[in-house]
Amino acid sequence: MDNWVIAMMLGASIFLGAVALFAFLWAIKNGQFDDEEKFLNAAKFDGEEELNDAAAQERKRKELQRKRTMPE
């Protein structure tokens, strides 16, 4: 009796999956995921000082999180 609902949902999901696959393949073909130059340029400017600052910020964040969860 409700087989038409299952068939409709199956058809709709296959159609939407095909559309998503088509969009993904189109994006790959047109270079939407090619960001190698930006990645390499960003790595050039990361010095020791920037890495130390990032590590210090991470330590501060964890310490604040620990203080918030600590019962008083």
SS3 assignment, position 47: coil
User: 51 and 24 in one domain?
Assistant: no
User: 25 and 10 in one domain?
Assistant: yes
Residues 45-54 pLDDT 10s: 567 787 788 8
Number of domains making up the chain: 2
Contact 27, 33 (CB under 8 A): yes
The domain containing residue 65 runs over which residues? 37-72
Identify the weakest region by mean pLDDT among 2-11, 37-46, 55-64.
37-46
Measure the CA–CA gap between 42 and 57, rounded to whole angstroms: 19
Between 19 and 33, the more confident residue is 19
Quote the pTM value: 0.47
String of b and e for 39-50 (b: at least 16 CB within 10 Å)? eeeeeeeeeeee
User: 48 and 19 in one domain?
Assistant: no
Q: Does 72 score more than 80 pLDDT?
A: no
User: 17 and 2 in one domain?
Assistant: yes
